[in-house]
Structure 1
Amino acid sequence: MSGQSTRRTVLKGAALAGAAGLGVAACSTDSNLGHAQNPVPTAPVELGAPSEVPVGTAKLFREQRVLVHCPAEGQYKAFSAQCTHAGCLLDKIEKNEGNCPCHGSRFDVTTGKALQGPATVPLPEVPVRVENGKLIAGPKA
């Protein structure tokens, strides 16, 4: 029995070490995005053409860590694409829900609201606008 107990202890320790490694990776620093506690752009970030987000859809701009929803022609709403549970980057959007691959949290891409845990805090809203034919996230320069 002590062999099983020791094995379980080792496996639990390995799982915790792996989770700790994920947390460190998820909280990496980016000069425009801050860190997991402030995952919104702190400087203007170019996303792409407004036509990339048709009315009624949302698009995940993974590299810039922003998701953008277009509720009506010429209107855009943006949120951080970092999960509010552990800071992992959302990986896809399905049926107006953003998915976190780390622990299964899901978010409403139209409101940022956490729909499925472990996340309970909504995604932070990010200012977004169209300038010179491009979607720009973050504060004005």
Structure 2
Amino acid sequence: MGAGGLALALTACGADTDTPDDAVAAGPAKSGAPGGALGRTADIPVGGGTVFKEQKIVVTQPTAGDFKAFTAVCTHQGCTVASVANGLIQCPCHGGKYKIEDGSVAGGPPKGPLAETAIKVEGDQITLA
């Protein structure tokens, strides 16, 4: 690999372009005001989830009717997780993966789980608790 390629590789691993300035890698996300609307239960697929980037929250539905919420801030270097697929919450920065059931680490470099976030499910609405 030439010097240019090495610099690009080092930049890709060392810089977190998706990290907000105020993010703390292992801390809780800014979850907004209690009672803030997140979405509808129909928007959260069974066995999957949805990332609410503005609130830095990811809501999952591991089994029908069982909704969980976690900070969307990766515990590795503070990037915001980007997607939920195949039962895993996935961080795009360095390949971190977390289980949708409990936010525990399922793969990649993170050393700790995603912190659980309190939500309320009333009817078909999901709000911050």
Q: TM-score, length-normalised on structure 2? A: 0.75
Q: Counterpart in 2 of 1:28?
A: 21
Structure 2 portions without partners, runs of 5+: none
Name the SS of the counterpart of 2:126 in structure 1: strand
Identity of paired residues, percent?
Answer: 31
Name the SS of the counterpart of 1:126 in structure 2: coil
Are the equivalent residues in 2 in contact too, given 1:76–1:129 (CA < 8 A)? Answer: no
Structure 1 portions without partners, runs of 5+: 30-34
- Distance in 2 separating the partners of 1:54 and 1:101: 20
Name the SS of the counterpart of 1:48 in structure 2: strand
Q: TM-score, length-normalised on structure 1? A: 0.70
Q: Counterpart in 2 of 1:19?
A: 14
Q: Counterpart in 1 of 2:52?
A: 61
Task: Note if 1:105 corresponds to 2:96.
Answer: yes
Bigger relative contact order, structure 1 or 2 (CA pairs below 8 A, ≥6 apart): 2
Q: CA RMSD in A?
A: 2.9
Name the SS of the counterpart of 1:115 in structure 2: strand
The structure-2 alpha-carbon separation of the partners of 1:26 and 1:129, relative to structure 1 and needing over 3 Å to count, comes to: same
- Distance in 2 separating the partners of 1:18 and 1:99: 17
Tell me how far 1:46 sits from its aligned partner. 1.7
Q: Counterpart in 1 of 2:80?
A: 89
- 1:75-127 Cα deviation digits (max 9, x unpaired): 32101111110111111111011111111111111110111121020000000
Structure index of larger Rg: 1
**Counterpart amino acid of residue 15 in structure 1:** L
Higher helix share: 1
Count of residues paired in the alignment:
124
